[in-house]
Amino acid sequence: MQWLLTLLLLVTTCAAQALPDAPSAWIALTVGTAAVTGIDAHQTVNGGRELWSPWLYGNYPSQHPARVAGIMAGEVVAASAAGYWLRSTRFRKFWWVPQLYVLAVHTAGMVHNYRAGLH
């Protein structure tokens, strides 16, 4: 799972830097969202039974780590793409909302997993 976290961070960072007009705040938020989501994915896979969202990750995420990683990586990509797209619309001052939402949800999951003893 560590390789997945590293891969997610590298791909996100490279994709964010490849965009010529991406502001540094967007890049920082994208990398932070990927890091927190990766840690949450690692803790979710190493945990036992999924209580928060078994319909999304399965009842026992440790049996399907690729499913958990794929869903969480998709969330990061979708939030980053939505934030980048919002920058080009008339709602440009709300570009940070999709990424901050994903960041907040996975930070809460990470804290919950940490308190449950899933380091």
Q: Which residue range is the domain that position 54 belongs to?
A: 2-115
Residue showing tokens 């997945």: 4
Over range 93-111, report the average pLDDT: 93
Question: Per residue in 74-105, is it b (16+ CB within 10 Å) or e — as a string?
Answer: ebbbebbeebbebbeeeeeeebbebbbebbeb
Residue 76 has a pLDDT of 92
Give the pLDDT of residue 115: 86
**Total count of domains within the chain:** 1
**Residue-wise pLDDT tens digits, 31-75:** 899 889 988 888 888 887 787 788 888 888 888 888 888 899 899
Q: Is the pLDDT of residue 24 over 90?
A: no
